[in-house]
Amino acid sequence: MCAPSSQVERDLDSIVNATGADTRVRPYDNPWLVMGRQNHSSNGHVAFLSLGSNVGHTRNHLTKARQALAGLGVSVEEASACFATEPVDFKDQPWFLNQVIRVRTDLEPMELLQACLRTEQEQGRRRNVAKGPRTLDIDILLYDDLILEDPELQIPHPRIPLRRFVLEPLAALVPDKVHPVLQETFERLLARCEDPSRVERLEETD
């Protein structure tokens, strides 16, 4: 899971001790940057997003989400296959269709969050029941190698290692990529995942 603030502070203290200078950026100095590496090249930032839907034409919702994000400056570079996934927290609802996409963007993390929320809202997302049915759900899983702990956004997403419906498409897309906090590949995290919920890979039709 995402490193707690105390652990982040200890890691930063070790940097201070090694360099002799306190060059730390804390959450209260800059509310979105905690630690980790960001890609500041002209090619933008690479992020991984989880898409999910279990209301209406679910595959169509995911397709429209990718298109809408592209119009907001979030270019989709690669998409996993779609997976039918059993509900985890609120059981009495239809199965979900889930997918992970790799995107490239010039948006900063909070700007990317707003783009995701706007896309959800434009596709009819209503938050009437916690963990309940939804036309579209978009979560930011990773953003470069950034480790961010903010009341509105945590990166990496803290439930990545706990949720099979996230790990299956993520490991299918980038099996050898290393989790920036846990320092294990997503393929390894999937193999160790104890989530018993069912996840079924679907035939690719789009």
Place of tokens 């927290």: 89
- Nearest of 187, 204, 176, 188 to residue 59 by alpha carbon: 204
What's the pLDDT score for residue 172? Answer: 96
What's the pLDDT score for residue 16? Answer: 38
Report CA 57 to chain centroid distance, whole Å: 23
> What fold is seen in the domain 35-201?
Alpha-Beta Plaits (3.30.70)
Instruction: Give CA–CA dist 35/180, Å, rounded.
Output: 10
Where are any strands of DSSP class E within 125-169? 137-143, 145-150, 153-155
Q: What is the mean pLDDT of each run of 10 residues along the chain (206 residues)?
A: 41 40 36 52 89 95 96 96 92 93 97 96 76 89 96 96 97 97 97 96 73
What's the pLDDT score for residue 117? Answer: 95
Could you tell me the residue ranges of all domains in the chain?
A: 35-201
What is 53-116 written as a DSSP string?
E-SSSHHHHHHHHHHHHHHTTEEEEEEPPPEEE--SSS-SSPPEEEEEEEEEES--HHHHHHHH
**Annotated catalytic sites, by residue?**
125, 134, 137, 139
Report the predicted TM-score, pTM, of the whole model to 2 decimal places. Answer: 0.80
What's the pLDDT score for residue 23? Answer: 34
Phi-psi map region of 173: left, alpha, beta (phi>0 left; psi -120 to 50 alpha) = alpha
